[in-house]
């Protein structure tokens, strides 16, 4: 993990993965998949939407769909009680 990634996570950012399906410019009947990952803030996703704005301006491929997954990697630990006894000899 880089320092930038740790600082982003401490600032509330989580890892965002986007599956971007787009039509190929040379063969418009075919769909291509591009996977994008970056640290971003849910639920607004400003970094992802900046990338999608860049895509719309600079890349000739038309978007079909975008599927987003997000996870906060740094969060409070979860403890749960376990019933049972483990015998030690």
| Residue % of the chain over a pLDDT of 70 | 90
- Cα–Cα distance measured from residue 53 to residue 8, given in angstroms and rounded to the nearest whole number: 22
Residue with the two structure tokens 């971003």: 40
Residue 3 pLDDT class (50, 70, 90 cuts): confident
Question: Mean pLDDT in the chain?
Answer: 89
pLDDT for 89? 63
Question: In 3-state terms, what secondary structure has residue 89?
Answer: coil
- Give the residue ranges of DSSP H helices in the chain: 3-10, 46-58
pLDDT top residue among 37 and 79: 37
> Residue 2 — pLDDT band, cuts 50, 70, 90?
low
Q: pLDDT digit string (tens) for 70-83?
A: 998 887 777 777 77
């Amino acid at each position: 993990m880089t320092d930038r990634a740790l600082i982003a996570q401490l600032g509330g950012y989580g890892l965002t993965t986007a599956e971007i399906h787009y039509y190929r410019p040379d063969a418009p009947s075919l769909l291509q998949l591009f996977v994008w990952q970056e640290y971003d803030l849910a639920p607004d996703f400003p970094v992802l939407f900046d990338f999608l704005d860049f895509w719309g301006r600079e890349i000739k491929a038309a978007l079909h769909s975008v599927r987003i997954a997000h996870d906060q990697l740094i969060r409070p630990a979860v403890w749960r009680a376990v019933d049972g006894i483990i015998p030690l000899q």
